[in-house]
Amino acid sequence: MAKNDILTVTKDLKVLALQAIAELPSFLTPSTTVAMAKSKNSSQHNQAKKAHRNGIKKPKTNRYPSLKGTDPKFRRNHRHALHGTQRALKEVKEGKRDSA
């Protein structure tokens, strides 16, 4: 066989191989082969140092936390209860009442 004949045969084989791959079902194509599982997902090394670099802080809390999301009936009653408490404290201060 001549050198040109060998080249044409190899080109024909490559074309046939590519056609065969194209006809395979999608789950068998070489591009979607399953990769080996990775053995290491995380490490604790240096994490404590990074966390303490700026200090571990407690979350900020407000003096009066928001009542957003609480029962609307409770919020309405709470508003009236606070008003009554303020009025009772005012009366105690003025001497109209013995205790709040």
**Tens of pLDDT, residues 21-67:** 777 766 665 555 678 888 888 899 999 999 999 999 999 999 999 99
Q: How confident is the model at residue 1 (pLDDT cuts 50, 70, 90)?
A: low
Residues with Cβ within 8 Å of residue 85, at least 6 apart in sequence:
100
Q: Where are the alpha helices (DSSP H) in 1-100?
A: 3-23, 47-53, 72-94
Residue, of 28 and 90, whose pLDDT is higher:
90
What's the chain's length in residues?
A: 100
**Per-residue pLDDT, 89:** 94
Domain ranges of the chain: 1-30, 69-100
Are the beta carbons of 67 and 75 closer than 8 angstroms? Answer: yes
**Per-residue pLDDT, 33:** 64
Token pair 């979350």 in the structure block, residue? 59
8-state DSSP, 36: P
Taking the model in full, what pTM does it have? 0.37
